[in-house]
Structure 1
Amino acid sequence: MQKNKLVSKDIIPVQGKDRVITGIGFFNIWVGMAVIIATFMIGGNGIDSMSLWEVAGAIFIANLVIALIGSLSGDIGIEHGLSFAAYLRAPFGTAGVHLPAVSRGIVAAIWFGIQTYLGALAINTLVAKMTGFDSWFIWYVLFAAVQIINTAMGIKAIDRFAVIAAPSIIVISFWILFKMTGMAEAKGINVLTYEGTANTTSWFLIMVANMGFWSALAIDIPNITRYIKAPKGEKSWMKRNWSSFWPHVTALPFVQTFMGIIGAVSILGAGNWNPIEVIQGTASGWTYVILLLMVILAQWSTNTAANLIPAALTFVNAGAGIRMSMVTGIVLAGVIGTIVQPWAILNELFTYLGYYGAILSAVAGIIVCDYYVIRKRRLNVKDLFREEGQFKYDGGWNLAGLIAWVIGGGMALYFMEYMYLVGFPVGFIAYYALMKGWYLNKHKQAEVESNYSDEYLGTTVGRDWVIPLEGDSVHTGKTA
């Protein structure tokens, strides 16, 4: 039997019995992902030009839109148990998938490096003041190793960590906001009535920048949602996706907005968007311990679910032919995130966010169009794992998806100020036009030709997709 280069145990669909995350668990994971030190910078960059309420509104609206898009793409994991990279074979082909998937994987790995670097800096500052030992790189290596080990232990370990991290982060964040508000009041600034006087940015730019911040996770969230418990045989989209939907639209917008507010108030109180650095200047004793805990929990909880898992799965998907393991993919993500020197990228964070947010916004439009409009949530899952199946297209490349990505991503880059607001709809429309007017006639898709038969649904009809790990033989089955 010939070795199937599209199959490995970490990218085949997750079975119902292996879906271990509840709605509360996913909420905790989202809280952990949404709280990162870099988020403070988003709010800090807007407060000079507008009121705190305007900053909060821009951040909230941006993240609510991203949360809704994440809920839509999350159904891929809920319905079919598929990871982002495995599904991407449908709109891009079994070979073409690696361009957008690995691009996203590298971005996630870079974010891992940025997060780990920020955490290492804070840890080093705290420890150096307390003990005199000063070496941020040592802390970087140790902190990276701990996060890699935790992620390699699997989704259950991440879920358990989130139970501790999420409430701790929220409590400490309120304490930090209280400290920053007090510093602003000491300068005679009422944060609730403050009106920005500069003209360095606009409400719209802050809103668009925030959309770019989480644009990547909005499209690869199936990596997590495929582990969320969902009622089998449930026809209603909302009821089936409820444990994914409500954490999306609550945790991300509200927590991200709260973090942006802290960064803005920190600017008002101390002229520095990073409250951790501000409090370090006057802290001692238990205050140091609290700050250290915040830094560790915030970076750690984000990196495991939002960066290491997405990066590793794209690398595992690309390395399926050599049976790359998830652990190897996670370690590779850590190595890539380090060798790109995240400390250099951090200085150009918003430029970096803009470029990758623009490029990936078109991928989001393509995915939503492919899944909901072209296939109407039906998917010939077995052929995703067949080298000679319908997703081979032209030598493994779906030219419609690739051309739509170039058009959508290119337009988003050209209109950088509007980025996601351009890339998403242009990618969506271009893909729809190319598939309907050209590619579906050339490459018939079973789920479309069947007039969208329920044979190609998963959770909705109580089906688990079962993909053998050896050979090319693939079948489906329903669990009791």
Structure 2
Amino acid sequence: MKNSLISKDIVPTLAKQRVISGFGFFNIWVGMAVIIATFQIGANGIDSMSLWKLAGAILLANIIIAIIGSLSGDIGVEHGLSFAAYLRAPFGIKGVHIPAVSKGIIASIWFGIQTYLGATAINYIFHSLTGFDSWFFWYVAFAVVQIINTAMGIKAIDRFAVVAAPSIILISVWIFFKVAGMADDKGIDVYSYVGTKDTTTWFLVIAANMGFWSALAVDIPNITRYVKAPKNERSWLKRNKNNYIPHLTALPIVQTFMGVIGAVSFLGTGLWNPIEVIQQTSTGWVMAVVLIMVVLAQWSTNSAANLIPASLTFVNAGSRFKVSYTVGIILAGVVGTLFQPWAILDQLFIFLGYYGAVLSALAGIMLCDYYIIRRRRLNVEELYAEEGQYKFDGGVNWAGMISWIIAGGAAIYFLDYMYIVGFPLGIACYFVLMKAWYLKRHPQKEIDSRFSDDYLGTTVGRDWHIEVLEEAIQPSLNEVGVKKGDLA
């Protein structure tokens, strides 16, 4: 009988499959961090504070998220595990599907939002040039292109990022000076401007930004499992340098700059989206430059930040039905469209608040399980065993599930302070329930071994070979875009 927990797309990656360099991961992060919706966060805050204060709030929020992402990224670096496969430890082999599929649906929705924003910009330009007017046509076309590119594998995404990242940075700088000039024409000095309205606070800007990236902070192992890491390196900092350096540089800097552009655009034109502003005031090659910016920004974000995470959660949930990586990507596109992202965009901050609250609790539970409860040790082989230690009670780890309900519910109740409430409460609840209750009922080998190195991966130079992996490895490598020549 086929083991329903094993699929070639969610078994641990091997060292020879780690094909992304630190610079490559930096480029991928630049692409992921440029989200047009981020402009709205900056615009919503500028009426209540100075540009510098606003930038400080966005920067601080994203540094915190980058640290959390770097910590969870070690799961991929150390053990080669995807987000959903690892989540079997704190939630159980069946319980995992509730948080994992929920996260997959959220990533799918974000794919739809990004694709819609790109499609409307493409439609505007083609309508101006040809008279053809159908944003939904361009939505479908843009979605199909992104799905095909992502289905080609991680190497294709890596290569695309090499082109996209510098292009996005250069065009973003140009857009900033363009909208800053518009503000100057209105007599507004953006560098000395201080908002006087009481519409938001510095703290709420931080909370909104943390909610914005709460999803990727927990499922970044989907990408870091392909990041190069030195074997037999016991220092966390040295082993993870290709993980945390891109996190701490690309995300905070690029996100802060995007928020600033949105704020300046709002000051100069009254619109938060500078893309719309430039489209309405420009023609010819300027419109072409804007089109490139929109396409590259949405495409690069969707591939790594939305389609891959969503696909792998669907693969994990549908492994008994042989759902493949490619099928998972197509499902993500369909699900994201069915949720009508064009309607969600009108209520973006409500959407950000609720899903950021739920995922803040998930991040706390995940990091508590990995660093505090198991001390980075993991019985990886039993993550794929239907009758193993992670079966818990009928496939559910109730310590994780109860902690998620309590911490996630509290974060929703205190929505304005979601991450500040959900993250630490998730850690505290899970720690107490595991130590006082669940570990007594369900002993964990990696813990009972007094945290033996037998349960470490990259730190001790170990690849985790799962049964039937040898049969599946070449198709798996082909799916992620690795050719035989890359393994020499």
Q: TM-score range by the shorter chain?
A: over 0.9
Counterparts of 2:199 and 2:129, CA distance in 1:
38
Counterparts of 2:7 and 2:219, CA distance in 1:
19
- Correspondence for 1:270: 269
Aligned letter for 1:245? Y
- Correspondence for 1:172: 171
Tell me if structure 2 keeps the 8 A contact 1:3–1:470: no
Unaligned runs of 5+ in 1: 472-478
- Correspondence for 2:474: none
Q: Residues 301-322 of structure 1: CA distance to partner in whole angstroms, max 9, x if unpaired?
A: 0000000000000000001111
- Correspondence for 2:373: 374
Q: CA deviation at 1:198?
A: 1.0
Aligned letter for 2:154? I
Q: Residues 417-471 of structure 1: CA distance to partner in whole angstroms, max 9, x if unpaired?
A: 1000100000000000000000000000000000000000000000000112389
Tell me if structure 1 keeps the 8 A contact 2:8–2:469: no
Counterparts of 1:323 and 1:378, CA distance in 2:
29
- Correspondence for 2:476: none
Give the 5 Å matches for 1:186-335: 186-335=185-334
Q: CA deviation at 1:36?
A: 1.1
Aligned letter for 2:151? A
- Correspondence for 2:22: 23
Aligned letter for 1:367? M
Tell me if structure 2 keeps the 8 A contact 1:8–1:469: no
- Correspondence for 1:93: 92
- Correspondence for 1:61: 60
Counterparts of 2:106 and 2:428, CA distance in 1:
25
Tell me if structure 1 keeps the 8 A contact 2:76–2:82: yes
- Correspondence for 2:358: 359
* 1:46 partner SS: helix
Tell me if structure 2 keeps the 8 A contact 1:375–1:452: yes
Counterparts of 2:10 and 2:48, CA distance in 1:
46
Counterparts of 1:95 and 1:469, CA distance in 2:
21
- Correspondence for 1:144: 143
Q: Is 1:349 aligned to residue 313 of structure 2?
A: no
Q: CA deviation at 1:222?
A: 0.1
Q: Residues 196-235 of structure 1: CA distance to partner in whole angstroms, max 9, x if unpaired?
A: 0211111111110000000010000000000000000000
Q: CA deviation at 1:282?
A: 1.2
Q: Residues 14-72 of structure 1: CA distance to partner in whole angstroms, max 9, x if unpaired?
A: 00001000000000000000001101001010001110001101100000000000000
Tell me if structure 1 keeps the 8 A contact 2:11–2:469: no
Percent identical residues:
70
Q: CA deviation at 1:339?
A: 0.8
Counterparts of 1:370 and 1:110, CA distance in 2:
28
Counterparts of 1:203 and 1:265, CA distance in 2:
17
Q: Is 1:431 aligned to residue 430 of structure 2?
A: yes
Aligned letter for 1:291? V
Tell me if structure 1 keeps the 8 A contact 2:412–2:418: yes
Counterparts of 1:410 and 1:282, CA distance in 2:
46
Q: Residues 401-420 of structure 1: CA distance to partner in whole angstroms, max 9, x if unpaired?
A: 00000010011011111000
Counterparts of 1:131 and 1:262, CA distance in 2:
30
Q: Residues 135-154 of structure 1: CA distance to partner in whole angstroms, max 9, x if unpaired?
A: 00000000000000000000
- Correspondence for 1:48: 47
Counterparts of 2:149 and 2:279, CA distance in 1:
28
Give the 5 Å matches for 1:77-88: 77-88=76-87
Aligned letter for 1:351? I
Using the size of structure 1 for normalisation, the TM-score is 0.97
Aligned letter for 1:355? Y
Greater CA deviation, 160-169 or 462-471? Answer: 462-471
Give the 5 Å matches for 1:355-434: 355-434=354-433
* 2:415 partner SS: coil
- Correspondence for 2:483: none
Aligned letter for 1:424? F
Counterparts of 1:233 and 1:317, CA distance in 2:
29
Tell me if structure 1 keeps the 8 A contact 2:400–2:430: yes
* 2:95 partner SS: coil
Tell me if structure 2 keeps the 8 A contact 1:4–1:470: no
* 1:228 partner SS: coil
Counterparts of 1:65 and 1:470, CA distance in 2:
37
Aligned letter for 2:89? A
* 2:2 partner SS: coil
Q: Residues 233-255 of structure 1: CA distance to partner in whole angstroms, max 9, x if unpaired?
A: 00000000000010000100000
Counterparts of 1:408 and 1:242, CA distance in 2:
31
Counterparts of 1:129 and 1:240, CA distance in 2:
51
Counterparts of 1:470 and 1:3, CA distance in 2:
13
* 1:309 partner SS: helix
Q: CA deviation at 1:323?
A: 1.6
Q: Structure 2 vs 1, CA of residues 323 and 470 (structure 1 numbering), >3 Å: closer, same or farther?
A: farther
- Correspondence for 2:11: 12
Tell me if structure 2 keeps the 8 A contact 1:70–1:217: yes
Tell me if structure 2 keeps the 8 A contact 1:20–1:227: yes
Aligned letter for 2:197? A
Q: CA deviation at 1:284?
A: 0.7
Using the size of structure 2 for normalisation, the TM-score is 0.96
Aligned letter for 2:344? I
Tell me if structure 1 keeps the 8 A contact 2:31–2:301: yes
* Structure 1 runs of 4+ with >4 Å offset: none
Counterparts of 1:175 and 1:385, CA distance in 2:
50
RMSD between aligned residues = 1.1
- Correspondence for 1:474: none
Aligned letter for 2:437? W
Counterparts of 1:71 and 1:36, CA distance in 2:
20
- Correspondence for 1:476: none
* 2:464 partner SS: strand
Q: CA deviation at 1:281?
A: 1.0
Counterparts of 2:202 and 2:128, CA distance in 1:
39
Counterparts of 2:386 and 2:399, CA distance in 1:
19
Q: Is 1:102 aligned to residue 101 of structure 2?
A: yes
Greater CA deviation, 462-471 or 278-287? Answer: 462-471
Counterparts of 1:290 and 1:467, CA distance in 2:
48
Count matched residues.
472
